[in-house]
Amino acid sequence: MGNEYDKRLFSGGLRERIHESRFRWLEQQTKGLHGSVLELGCFNARSLNYLSFQPTRYLGLDAGWEGGLDEAILKYPKFSFKASTNPNDIVGSWDIGLALETLEHLPRPMVLDNYLDKLSKHTRICIFTVPMEVGPLFAAKFIYKKYVFREPTKHTFREFMWQTFGKCNLVEQDNHRGFDYRQLINLIRKYFYVEKIEGVHASLPQLLNTQIGIVARSQHLNYS
């Protein structure tokens, strides 16, 4: 349960170091925080191992693909989980919201907009990470996946060039394809006060980071 996903991403080497970095970044961002946590796209709730505090309550929402949610339910019986693909499942009041490498998978713009609206009304502070899918790093990742891991791609050559040069609006959007974190940040700002935007490897320039971290405070709720 969840093993195939973990084997792809967390079986050592460069790929594991890249994907582990967002959780290390999460650990740093949660220092000094406390309270309840709602996580969107929790998969097997790996993030619980990296929070710098023990949540008073935790709800993990996930589509349930590849068995990750079932694994989380067995591993963390004291916390709550729900199979979900509906933003209306974001209910209640939560101190912290998490969405790690999740927002890029939501259909844009309407569905993504609805999720951000719900998160802003039910979580006081949100911590997001999303992949870098523009510029030379996108090109390097694309070539690495295509020719080293032999992963199929839906990009045409023209779309590959457009995304490399940051013209993601010209690429048909589908998960990572056509995703531009800069457009996402503009959308987040409709509902949150964005307090931090940085690469998860702070020592590197933003455009050379494989993932971008965002910390945002709800415009609707106070946090203390």
Q: What is the pLDDT of residue 67?
A: 85
Largest CA distance in the chain: 49
In this structure, the chain runs to a length of 224
**How crowded is residue 218: how many other Cβ atoms within 10 Å of its Cβ?**
19
CA atoms within 13 A on the CB side of 161: 3
Q: What is the pLDDT of residue 108?
A: 86
Q: What is the pLDDT of residue 1?
A: 44
143: which 2 tokens?
């070539």
Kindly report the backbone phi and psi dihedral angles of residue 193, in degrees, each rounded to the nearest multiple of 5, phi listed first: -90, 115
Q: Collect the ranges in the chain with pLDDT lower than 50.
A: 1-2, 224
Q: What is the pLDDT of residue 6?
A: 67
Q: Which domains does the chain have, with CATH numbers?
A: 3-132+179-218 (3.40.50.150), 134-172 (no CATH)
Q: What is the pLDDT of residue 28?
A: 96
Q: What is the pLDDT of residue 212?
A: 96
